[in-house]
Structure 1
Amino acid sequence: MPMIDLTIPEGALTSEAEAKLIKEITNILISAEGFDPANELVQSVSVAFVQRPSATFVGGAPAPKPWYRLTTSVPEGKYTQEAILTLVKEVTEAFARAEDASFEDVGSRLWVFPVEVPDGTWGVNGAISRIAEIQALLARKGDEAIGPALLARRRRAKALEILEAAADAVRRES
């Protein structure tokens, strides 16, 4: 159930290429969360907001080619590092196809920001939805209860990063 914020400059893509791109990105991001893109319920809560700047500047000068930005927000715990690496690559490939350009050309003009929204801060229907509830609603049969495990895995990984950084700092100071 990604919330997708896309910046696509005015006139950068044909309307057909843009529609195909947004559908492809939606499916890539749903897969990155571990859901099935064929799941109609998951599709129905995967929303893309498109911003269309009339101009983009690089180094203070008008950009000669379009620059794109994608921020995708998902509940905390939904992304693994492998999923992030895969989604960035696949999204870049999708933009290259939409522009009919090379991966290298588009890749240097596409910024991708996969963001996890902290558990307990995703608001919808006038209330907060936690990862356990979201997972239970959207998961295929048998996967409904893994939300808390995903969150625990993410928080353990973050704690380990902090502990390792602190240990490195102590070693350097010694």
Structure 2
Amino acid sequence: MPMLDVHIPDGALRPEAEAALLDRITEILIRYEGFDPADPVTRSVSWLFLHRPAAVYVGGRIADAPRYKVVPSVPEGQLDVEKRAGVIADVTEAILDAENGAWPRDPARIWVFPTEIPEGHWGGYGQIRPLATILARLTDDDHDRARTLATERITASRTERHSLPGPTAQL
């Protein structure tokens, strides 16, 4: 159930390449969340908002090649460090592939910011949608198993977040 904000400068991609890219990015996120990208119900709640920056500046000057920003938002507990790394790598490759050689194949022009929405803050259908409700689809509506899975994922996410190095860590 990802929500995606994808920033693509106007004219950066051919229309058919852009449409294929947006579908591919949606599939990438669905897959990393553990759902089937071919499932029509899953796809119906996977929204992508396309943003068209009027211009992108680098160092105060207009960019010499397109720059892209992708912000996938998922409920807390859906993406551990390995999945986030996979999302970043796969989305970057998808964008570079979509350019089809029109621009230098430079991953430095692409930023991907996977964002977890804290438990109790994911809203849809006019109400809070807890992770257990979302995961019930993965467990064939076994609500006890979905609650256990949600608790495990959220606990792992919070443990990982608290064990990350602080701002003084070397890059």
**Class of the TM-score when normalised by the shorter of the 2 chains:** 0.7 to 0.9
Q: Which has the higher helix share?
A: 1
Query: Which 4+ stretches in 1 moved above 4 angstroms?
Result: 163-166
Sequence identity percentage: 41
- In the other structure, the counterpart of 1:141 is 140
Report if the CA contact (8 A) 2:71-2:112 is conserved. yes
- 2:5 aligned counterpart, secondary structure: strand
1:133-174 per-residue CA deviation (whole Å, 9 max, x = no partner) reads 1111x32637763454244344345336536869xxxxxxxx
Give the count of matched residue pairs: 165
- 1:139 aligned counterpart, secondary structure: helix
Report if the CA contact (8 A) 1:6-1:49 is conserved. yes
Report if the CA contact (8 A) 1:2-1:47 is conserved. yes
- In the other structure, the counterpart of 1:68 is 68
Distance 1:43 1:143, change over 3 A: farther
The 2-side partners of 1:55 and 1:164 are apart by: 35
Correspondence 1:13 to 2:10:
no
The 1-side partners of 2:123 and 2:9 are apart by: 29
Amino acid at match of 1:114: P
For structure 1, the residue ranges without an aligned partner over 5 or more in a row are: 167-174
- Give the structure with higher Rg (CA): 1
- In the other structure, the counterpart of 2:82 is 82
Amino acid at match of 1:96: L
TM-score (norm 2): 0.85
Report if the CA contact (8 A) 2:77-2:156 is conserved. no
1:85-140 per-residue CA deviation (whole Å, 9 max, x = no partner) reads 111111111111100139x834111100111111111111211110001111x326
Show the 5 A alignment for 1:18-167: 18-101=18-101, 105-136=105-136, 138-139=137-138, 141=140, 145-146=145-146, 148-159=148-159, 162=162
1:12-61 per-residue CA deviation (whole Å, 9 max, x = no partner) reads 11110110000000001100101111111100100000110121000000
Distance 1:63 1:134, change over 3 A: same
Report if the CA contact (8 A) 1:120-1:130 is conserved. yes
- In the other structure, the counterpart of 1:169 is none
- In the other structure, the counterpart of 2:169 is none
